[in-house]
Amino acid sequence: MTIDYDIVHAEFDAQESELTARQTALLENWRFYEGKHRQWLKVKEGGHNDNVTINLCGVLVDRTVSRLFGDPVRGDLLDFDLVPTEAVSEGEAPTLDQAPAPEKIQEARRYLEQVWERSGGIHTVLSRTGVYGAVTGHFVLRLVADDEIPRFVVLDPGIVSVLVKGDDRDKVRAYSIQFPVKRRDKDGDIRDADFRQLIVYGPEFGGEEGWYIQDFIRFKPKTSPDRLRLLDDEVPRWQPAGDEEIWPFCPLFDGQNLPSARSYWGMADLENVKNINDEINFILSNVNRIIRFHAHPRTIGIGIEPSQVQDTAVEAFWTVATTPDKAEIFNLEMQSDLPAVFNFFQIIREAFWTIGREADPSVFKEKIGNVTNFGLRVLYMDALNKLGQKRQTYGKVLSNLLERCLELKGFSDLRALPNWSDPLPTDPRETVQTLQMERDMQIVSRETAALERGRNWEVEKRRMQEDAQGQSVGKRLLRMLQAGGTGDEESE
């Protein structure tokens, strides 16, 4: 049984206008993230540019990505625990014959470390994934098995299209990866073309179980040098390029950045704050121009002929040759320091962070030293709720990606579960006091307390035993010295 690729192409071709519109919207998001904002004030050639650009959109994305995955400098980068597969009943501890041997888990960890390293490093992959998700609203990763050690590739969602079931958007029938290229045609000429790779679920299009991968090329019509006339009447058609592959699972792993109920594609972090960032830049640009023109007082003369004004060397003071009762000289100063404008700016700025569901530290920076762990979580409540939504999606997709990668190496009896770190800084004194109270209530073990404090229990237990033995020897020597004897005398 073969795949009817003509039907697949026909369905994706019908979505090309939608793909183009989505790519245009995504380019605007990237413009905001990269700080290429609108210049509100016109600048004369050779004149001064009063436009002010504050890229809050970029800060918003970078903050959320850092909080989502952690940072290797802080030592809280996302990690994954390898545990037995769901063959073991949920909530039950695996028996000795069911649980994978520790050596096997360590081997699987070393294998994943090699995969991350070949992919550019876990921090690089996670950062790219988070930025693509926050800016475009969706993230797509690909498992590439082009060597003994596979690798992960973060794809641009702008080149990916999907076909889903009409009554179930979670069921993907096919993926398309499409972008412009240049290729030689049958005559040896280099021409513009479109590359499209189809990744099709076999049973949906006449094939057997599995995911079919096939590359295609479609040459664009030949045109005159001015691109105004077609040089041939060839109808562009998709032509196979390369051999077909069949995978037991889909090599693409994608998910929504933030949930969107009406679309397969998720919502970006910048969805509702781009225009607010524009308004902030508009306000500050106009204030900047006002200050440049009116920050310094202007000297005005009334009832004075221009020919009567003479310059002196006294700080450019102007003297006027006229009678005192006819001349009046005064400084024209701004009647206001623009407090209403700056108050409005603060309102717009707070709206940006509120709608972006991110806490603005400048609001409570003067009180940060007095904020408790609980108070900090209240201040960051909406940001934490947003983070929780993201971790549900990103964690599920990344776990699925790692588990499929482990299957390629024969570790099908292991699951990869994300080990998320606490996104907020905490006061260690409060944490220790809480653990001490729980120890006094006998509801937590010493091992659990050590793990929550980030310590290796086995290492700490061995060190405590060594300390206890050292103290015992010290006390024994002290008693012998106080008795005026030696170890030999005591043994006698």
Domain C-terminal end among 234, 256, 278: 256
What pLDDT digit, counting tens, does each position of 412-458 carry? 888 999 988 887 767 677 778 888 888 888 888 888 888 777 787 78
CA-CA distance, 216 to 310, in Å (whole number)? 81
Structural domain that includes position 314: 296-333
Q: Is 373 within a domain?
A: no
**Same structural domain, 245 and 302:** no
**Same structural domain, 67 and 192:** yes
**Same structural domain, 318 and 231:** no
Q: Is 275 within a domain?
A: no
**Same structural domain, 175 and 321:** no
Section 453-474 average pLDDT: 78
**Same structural domain, 204 and 317:** no
For residue 98, what are its two tokens?
Answer: 């069911």
More confident residue, 222 or 62: 62
Q: Is 345 within a domain?
A: no
Which residues sit opposite 84 in a β-bridge? 414
Q: Is 140 within a domain?
A: yes
Q: Is 344 within a domain?
A: no
Which helix (H) or strand (E) segment is 21 a member of? helix 16-33
Kindly report the pTM of this predicted structure: 0.79
For tokens 């500050």, name the residue.
284
**Same structural domain, 107 and 178:** yes
What is the residue-averaged pLDDT of the chain?
83
Q: Is 340 within a domain?
A: no
Q: Is 77 within a domain?
A: yes
Identity of residue 260: S
**The predicted structure's pLDDT at residue 310:** 64
Long-range contacts of 243-248 (CB under 8 A, 24+ apart): 244/212, 244/213, 244/214, 245/212, 245/213, 245/214, 246/202, 246/210, 246/211, 246/212, 246/213, 247/210, 247/211, 247/213, 248/210, 248/211
**pLDDT > 80? residue 1:** no
**Same structural domain, 328 and 457:** no
**For residues 56 and 352, is the Cβ–Cβ distance under 8 A?**
yes
Domain C-terminal end among 333, 351, 382: 333
Q: Is 76 within a domain?
A: yes
**Same structural domain, 251 and 303:** no
DSSP state of 366: G
- Total of domains in the chain: 3
**pLDDT > 80? residue 32:** yes
Residue 369 pLDDT class (50, 70, 90 cuts): low
**Same structural domain, 320 and 218:** no
What pLDDT digit, counting tens, does each position of 56-87 carry? 999 999 999 999 998 777 667 888 888 877 54
Nearest to 386 by CA among 175, 130, 204: 130
Identity of residue 422: D
**Same structural domain, 188 and 82:** yes
**Same structural domain, 310 and 169:** no
**Same structural domain, 153 and 69:** yes
**pLDDT > 60? residue 159:** yes
Domain C-terminal end among 306, 333, 360: 333
